[in-house]
Amino acid sequence: RDIGVDAEGVIPEKVSRVGVVGAGLMGSGIAAACARRGLPTTMVDVEEKALGAGLGRIQEVIASRIRIGRATPEDMASALALLSTSTTPANVAGSDVVIEAVVEREEVKRELYQRMKQHLGPNTILASNTSTIAISTLAESAPSPERFVGMHFFNPVDRMALVEVIRGKETSDQTVATIVALAKRIKKTPIVVRDCAGFLVNRVLFPYLSEAVLLWLEGAAMDDVDRCATSFGMPMGPFLLHDVVGLDTAFYASGVMNQAYPDRSVKLDVLADLVKAGHLGQKTGRGFRKHE
């Protein structure tokens, strides 16, 4: 049977428990999305401090929904009751799906997958939230390439419906179908895409972001560029978006895109300079712009 890229018609596996590795901006958002939809979720990070901050962000997201009448204090209590945190990767054992959301560095992800091999059961699906690194490349280090897939959420996770599901060379139909069903269960809108560096969204987004920076380097004001982008319908302009994403993440992701598409992607030294100076965007109070 010819299934097609989206594995439509394949029966998904049951997902009763989710593990999330990396409790940063994205990992905490993904863990919140799962727990808010009734899934027992374990969030793991190497840093105790990151777990505390991640939990704080989750509480803040739900609290802000309560303030606008879109959630109740009971929703907060039930989501938090389903969430557990740990600095021990072994604690994701028993999850049907483990979503990796650690830094955008290939060697860190590969090393993590090698270490996770001993903790993941033969039926566990490992999904990466990588923004840019080709899934078939990362699959070389995954415990099982057939059960390895991209599950790319967007920031902020509680507001962005889209999830790219990336099918690597060896990803099975069953894995794709299960991740599509999981995305729908947590009220996201999955699209299944083929594998390449940057997938679909970031191949389109990166040229836009780097052209904006080039405009600024050529003398345009950041405010003008951001205002212009919002006036033609973007929820925020490219400089603010850089700062929301995190300049460290943008820098690592740009490196992947520069390597994959050397003929048509721009290497921006200014990103490296800002990261070196510790200006990582909203998370440090300063990136391209200053933040309160």
| Contact residues for ligand NAD, defined by CB under 6 A | 21-27, 44-47, 50, 101-104, 108, 112, 129-131, 152-155, 245-246, 249, 253
Which is closer to ligand NAD, CB of 86 or CB of 174? 86
Which is closer to ligand NAD, CB of 46 or CB of 181? 46
The answer to whether the CB of 48 falls within 8 A of the CB of 214 is no
The answer to whether the CB of 200 falls within 8 A of the CB of 166 is no
Alpha-carbon distance of 281 to 274, in angstroms, equals: 9
Tokens 């897939």 correspond to: 149
Tokens 């990767």 correspond to: 89
Q: What is the CA radius of gyration of the chain?
A: 19
Work out how close the CB of 44 gets to ligand NAD at its nearest, in angstroms, rounded to a whole number.
6
Work out how close the CB of 1 gets to ligand NAD at its nearest, in angstroms, rounded to a whole number.
33
Which is closer to ligand NAD, CB of 51 or CB of 125? 51
Output b/e per residue, 152-189; b: 16+ Cβ within 10 A.
bbbbebeeeeebbbbbbebbbbbbbbbbbbbbeebebe
Work out how close the CB of 87 gets to ligand NAD at its nearest, in angstroms, rounded to a whole number.
8
Active site residue 152: yes
Taken as a whole, the chain contains a residue count of: 292
Work out how close the CB of 246 gets to ligand NAD at its nearest, in angstroms, rounded to a whole number.
5
By beta carbon distance, the residue nearest ligand NAD is: 24
Which is closer to ligand NAD, CB of 26 or CB of 197? 26
- State the CB neighbour count (10 A cutoff) for residue 94: 15
Catalytic residue from among 119, 152, 242, 279: 152
Whole-Å CA distances, 7 to 88, 98, 177:
34, 20, 6
Which is closer to ligand NAD, CB of 145 or CB of 287? 287
**Structure tokens of 231?**
């006036």
- Of 62, 54, 113, the C-alpha closest to 87 is 54
Work out how close the CB of 284 gets to ligand NAD at its nearest, in angstroms, rounded to a whole number.
11
So which residues are the catalytic ones?
A: 152
